[in-house]
A and B are shown apart, each in its own frame.
Chain A
Amino acid sequence: MSETEIAAHGHGAVMEESPYAIPSRKLTMWMFLISDAITFGACLFSYGYIRVSTANWVRPFESGSVINVIAMTVILITSSLTMLGAVDAAKASDKAKTMRFMYSTMVLGTLFAALHLREWFLLFERGITLSSGLFGQAFFVITGLHLLHVISGVIALLVVEMWYSSGRLTPGHDESTGLYWHFVDLVWMFVVPLVYLTNIAH
């Protein structure tokens, strides 16, 4: 192995090929997402057990809340589609289209967060808070953790988009951020049925 090769690629790259054939940045993002999935998994498992084993569980969601959660879900799944468009446009080096799709994703993410907060404030008005019992604790911790991820995602998209358009980042960075955004969508697919749909007032 020559000094020039080591200087250009580092030791690992010269000695062996990556077993996954993906950049280390993307692999790191996958590792982060797996650990995050386990965090959400722990929250949802604990919620599930408490929910099933507790009699007289609060069922606060009426038709208005269901319509709100339908809108939130459609918005978040649609934002995954626009994110796919952004990553693909970035790979094709179409900066204008990348920006349009990224901004669309950010707008949808912001709209989702606004609807999420609206739902929270409606529950506050009805006296359901973080300290009002098991339902309040479980609901606000799980949805709060998810909302934190959405807000972080919107900020990350904004930063990546600005740096990508100024040439500081590559399409690979857009792709890693996209993975994170799809993951946020994926977690929501578990939060909605377990936290909202099992608590509809009949």
Chain B
Amino acid sequence: MSAASSSGNVIRKYLPVYFVLLAIFFLEVFLSFQHFATGTLVVILLLLAISSASLGLMYFMHLAEERRALFLTLIPVTIFVLLMMNMFWSDSVRLLHMRPGAQ
């Protein structure tokens, strides 16, 4: 591959990912104008955002092309830490209502 044509090729290669990311984003905008309950909307949008982020991570950041050891070192740990936040943030919300001892 010549140097001159290389970056043109890489853009063509990742153009489908680019369009899928845009499509997911426009789907999110469309869904946000539908009358879902807030909790439902947050969950749906979060799932779509995770899909977009996975595509960005695997293709734009080339994690799919790296050794699997890198993926296994970085991603499960990150997901674990983020899920653990779920444990204490839900508890801290009680403070908003000034009922620290409430069940």
Contacts and interface: CB of A to CB of B under 8 A. Distances in A.
B89 A46 contact: yes
A70 B29 contact: yes
Interface string A140-168: 00000000000000000000000000000
Given A182-B60, A194-B49, A94 B3 contact: yes
Interface stretch (A3-11, A47-55, A119-127): A47-55
Given A52-B38, A189-B52, A193-B45, A179 B61 contact: yes
A21 interface: yes
A101 interface: yes
Q: How large is the interface on B (under 10, 10 to 19, 20 to 34, 35 or more residues)?
A: 35 or more
Contacts of B46: 48, 190, 193-194
Q: Is the interface of B mostly helix, strand, loop or mixed?
A: helix
Q: Is the interface of A mostly helix, strand, loop or mixed?
A: helix
A194 B41 CA distance: 9
B38 A51 contact: yes
Contacts of B48: 193
Contacts of B67: 19-22
A189 B89 contact: no
| Most chain A beta carbons < 10 A, residue from B15, B39, B53 | B53
A91 interface: yes
Nearest to A54: B96
B61 A93 contact: no
Contacts of A85: 7-8, 10-11
B92 A46 contact: yes
Q: How large is the interface on A (under 10, 10 to 19, 20 to 34, 35 or more residues)?
A: 35 or more
B28 to A, nearest CB: 5
Contact of B22 (A20, A77, A192, A193): A77
Contacts of B33: 200, 202
Interface of B: 1-4, 6-11, 14-15, 18, 21-22, 25-26, 28-29, 31-33, 35, 38-39, 41-42, 45-46, 48-49, 52-53, 56-57, 60-61, 66-67, 69-70, 73-74, 77-78, 81-82, 85-86, 89-90, 92-93, 96
14 contacts: A48-B46, A52-B39, A70-B25, A80-B56, A85-B10, A88-B10, A89-B7, A92-B2, A186-B56, A190-B53, A192-B25, A193-B46, A197-B45, A198-B32
